[in-house]
Amino acid sequence: MTASAKKAKSGKAIFKPVASAIVYTGPKVSAAPEVDLYSTTPATAGYSATFTATQAGWTGSFKKAFTYSFAAVTGKTNNCPGGSGPAYTVSPGSGALGTSYTVTATANAPAGECLMTMTGGAASTVKVLLTFTTSGIGIN
């Protein structure tokens, strides 16, 4: 962009926009994003959970979608979508518009953990731990 005026001197500037962080709102454990499911029965507690993810300058009126991927958690049983025994479905799908996500247990969900990484503008990421537990916790 150029402009001129009498007695004006030219100058140069470098435009370096900084992407905002992805903001996660939903279930957490020790302040870290975590979705814990424990039921394969629809419409019961522990069958599904929701969270939102937004990023200023990316989602909303900018209509840009997050992508996401899954990875096994070292030392834990891998129950990620796309594997041989997935415990979860996530909607909307990766690359689809939306900021509200629902994680739902599959009918034969195995116990284990999976790390979901969401990627937005300027390669900003947020990691959400997904867990499925098949046994309860005893209280004495």
Which domain, by its residues, includes 107? 23-132
Return all residues near 24 (Cβ < 8 A) that are at least 6 apart.
Answer: 33, 51, 52, 53, 126, 128
CB 100, CB 50: distance < 8 Å: yes
- Picking from 88, 89, 82, 79, the residue whose alpha carbon sits closest to that of residue 111 is 79
CATH number of the domain within which 70 lies: 2.60.40
48 assigned to some structural domain: yes
126 assigned to some structural domain: yes
Return all residues near 64 (Cβ < 8 A) that are at least 6 apart.
Answer: 58, 120, 121
Encode pLDDT of 88-137 as tens digits. Answer: 999 999 999 989 999 999 999 999 999 999 999 988 999 999 999 987 65
Return all residues near 23 (Cβ < 8 A) that are at least 6 apart.
Answer: 53, 54, 55
3 assigned to some structural domain: no
Number of domains in the chain: 1
Residue 21 pLDDT level (bands cut at 50, 70, 90): very high
Cα(94)–Cα(127) distance, integer angstroms:
14
100 assigned to some structural domain: yes
139 assigned to some structural domain: no
Of the listed ranges 3-7, 19-23, 69-73, 89-93, the one predicted with least confidence: 3-7
Higher pLDDT, 138 or 123: 123
Q: What is the pLDDT of residue 9?
A: 75
Cα(35)–Cα(49) distance, integer angstroms:
7
